[in-house]
Structures are given as structure tokens and as C-alpha cells.
Amino acid sequence: MTATVTVPVPAMPRRRKDPSEIRQPESGEKNVLLAAPRGYCAGVDRAVIAVERALEHYGAPIYVRKEIVHNRHVVDRLSERGAIFVDDTHEVPEGARVVFSAHGVSPAVHEEAAARSLDTIDATCPLVTKVHREAVRFEKQGYSIILVGHEGHEEVEGTMGEAPDSITLIQNPEEARAVELPETDKLVWLSQTTLSVDETMETVDILTQRFPHLEAPPSDDICYATQNRQVAVKKIAPGADLVLVVGSANSSNSVRLVEVALEHGAKDAHRIDFAREVDEEWFHGVSTIGVTSGASVPDLLVQDLLRLLADYGYGDVEEVRTADEDVIFSLPRELRKDLKAAGLETSNKKNGADRNHELR
């Protein structure tokens, strides 16, 4: 499903040097394939709105444990409005209000917060909470759990904290080949929500060959948003000389999009936080540029990039849509309760383009 969209050239185009200095591709044609879905997912949208609504309702400061979502622009804008981002709950003054990020926290963090009498708003994405619940349930049932994910990622720390004695972390196919597990009849795998679907299945295939009794999770742990963005970038990658992924370095799903693009035919691919990070050398000999963005990226950053590309002659933009998304998650329970008590709107009505606009 494709649609052609016109991207307005900015009144004051940003030029790092005369675009005519860039060597033209032989065909002389330049165009952009714009992946859809891209950008904000329902979990990110909800988490960002939760912080904004908390700032509006309770007033600044609102403490946020870790980056609410992995995007520099979003974190910077919320900081300007009075959010204070901390690495751990012990940095939050006793009795203050703290929001837990979309990536989730372990039970130990909830306990620390309770011990410091913090008012918590848990903005953990419901799809991360689902994986937490699976970990708890399988541990109770006596399973050993393999968690496919990346060490050090906040989501993985939170999930492992739910069943620390039962989870073994496997990061990639190499580790799947090498891992030694305790003898057990009950073995199940779960995964981080933002992984590469293909690499995860490769890892799981290796594990299944080695441990034939390995059971799969009851439903996909890699979330709909991660999967949809990977499907969309796979669609545009084969026809792209260059794929640009807007997203932050610590955004797992954004980093995966670069990898997926290269694995599926893109000749070159780069991740950028902002349009200004584009290196014009990347345009050398490039006719078609694919553009997408990670699940924590407001679309205004993509629009900035499209304006820059238009400035360099890539103004012909074709949107390539592989799925429609209409998922909305309700605001965190604690926040809804307080908003309701104050007679305020409790639904998560604002999302999509409105959110992106507001965060400029």
C-alpha cells in the first residue's frame, strides 16, 4: 500500500554546503521511501503523556526514574517542563513523586520506593508488564526460564528482577550455542520486547535443537510495534541505497532497524538522533533514501529529516505502509485515580501527531 506525500521545503533551508556539490546518481533521480508504521508506539505515547499529565496536575518537579523513553528529544523537552530524570530511586527526595519508565522496573525498585515513601506512577508499558507476569508465573510453576535479550537494558533488568533465581539471559545465537543449563524438564523462553524478530528466532532455533523440550511463550513477547516497524523497513530496504533511522543510540528497537535494513538489502544505513547529524557524504551516488524511526521517536524529528533531504533534492517522498496501528493504552492507574478524584479527564485521548507537536 503506497501513497505519495508532498514534503514542504522549509522557508530557511539548512544547508551545510551547496547541495549541488554532491555527486548526482547516474539516473539523476532522487526519492525517499518513507516507512509506515514508524515512530511512536502506544507504550511510549502513554508514558510521555503520563509525565506531562503529572506535571500539569501535581506541578513540577516530577521525578522520573531512568529516561521515560529512550529518546533524547523527548527527555530534553520534558526536562524543560520540570521533569527531573534520575538513575535510581535513592536520588529522589523522600516522599516525592516518581514516574517509572516505559521499560519497567523490578520488584526491588518498587520496594525501595515504598521504603522511601515515594508516590509512584508506574508507566511501564503493558506489553512489558505482560512479560514480567509470564516470568513470575513460569517461575511459580517450577520452570527454568531463558530470557532472550540484551544485558544492561533496563527492560531486561526489570524482567530478570521478577524471577532472578530462574532466569538465564541469552543475548545472541553464539550464546545459545554455548549455554549450559541446569537439568530440568520444564524450560521456557521469553524475550525482550524490542529485539530483531529474525535474530531472536535464530537464537531460539539453536536453543530448541539443543533443548528439544524448550517451550515457547504463550504469545509473542516482541511487541506489535517492534514487529511492525521491522516489517516496514524490510519492505523499503531492498530498493534503498541508504536507509536513515531516526532514533537514539540507547533505543534498542531503533538500533535493530538499522541492522534489519542492512540485512534486507539496504546498501548503507545509519541511525541519527536529529537531522543535523546527517553526513552529506552518505548521499554520494545515492538515488533512493529509505526513512524510518524507532518506537520512541516523535514524528516531528522525521519531518525535520524530510525537510533536510528535500533541501538536498530528495523531495519526492513515497510512503510505504505495511500495517495500520490503532493501539492505545490507558494512563497509569495511580494517575487516573488522582485525575478522576479531581474531576479531570482520565482517558488517554491525546496521541499521534498531537503528541509530537506538543513536544517540540
**Binding residues for ligand SF4 (CB under 6 A):** 41-44, 102, 125, 127-128, 193-194, 223, 225-226, 253, 295
**Is 253 among the annotated ligand-binding positions?**
yes
Q: How far is the CB of 256 from ligand SF4 (least distance, A)?
A: 11
Q: Are 262 and 67 in contact (CB under 8 A)?
A: no
Question: Are residues 50 and 99 in contact, defined by beta-carbon separation less than 8 angstroms?
Answer: yes
Between residues 158 and 309, which has the closer beta carbon with respect to ligand SF4? 158
- Which residue lies nearer to ligand SF4 by CB, 41 or 105? 41
Q: Is 106 annotated as a binding residue?
A: no
Instruction: Establish how many alpha carbons lie within 13 A of residue 326's alpha carbon, considering only the half-sphere containing its beta carbon.
Output: 1
- Of 155, 157, 162, 319, the catalytic one is 155
Query: Would you give the distance in Å from CA 268 to the centre of its chain?
Result: 22
Q: How far is the CB of 49 from ligand SF4 (least distance, A)?
A: 13
Q: How far apart are CA 99 and CA 97, in angstroms?
A: 7
CB 91 within 8 A of CB 110: no
> Does 155 participate in catalysis according to the annotation?
yes
CB of 128 to ligand SF4, least distance (A): 5
Residue 103 annotated as lining a ligand binding site: yes
Least CB distance from residue 329 to ligand SF4, whole Å? 8
For ligand SF4, the closer of residues 31 and 124 by Cβ is 124
* 133 φ, ψ (degrees, to nearest 5): -65, -40
Residue 149: name the closest of 200, 101, 207 by CA. Answer: 200
223 is in an annotated binding site: yes
C-beta of residue 299 within 8 angstroms of C-beta of residue 40: yes
**Is-contact 195 255, C-beta < 8 A?**
no
Indicate the annotated binding residues for [4Fe-4S] cluster: 41, 125, 223
- The residues carrying an active-site annotation are 155
Indicate the annotated binding residues for dimethylallyl diphosphate: 70, 103, 153, 251-253, 296
Indicate the annotated binding residues: 41, 70, 103, 125, 153, 193, 223, 251-253, 296
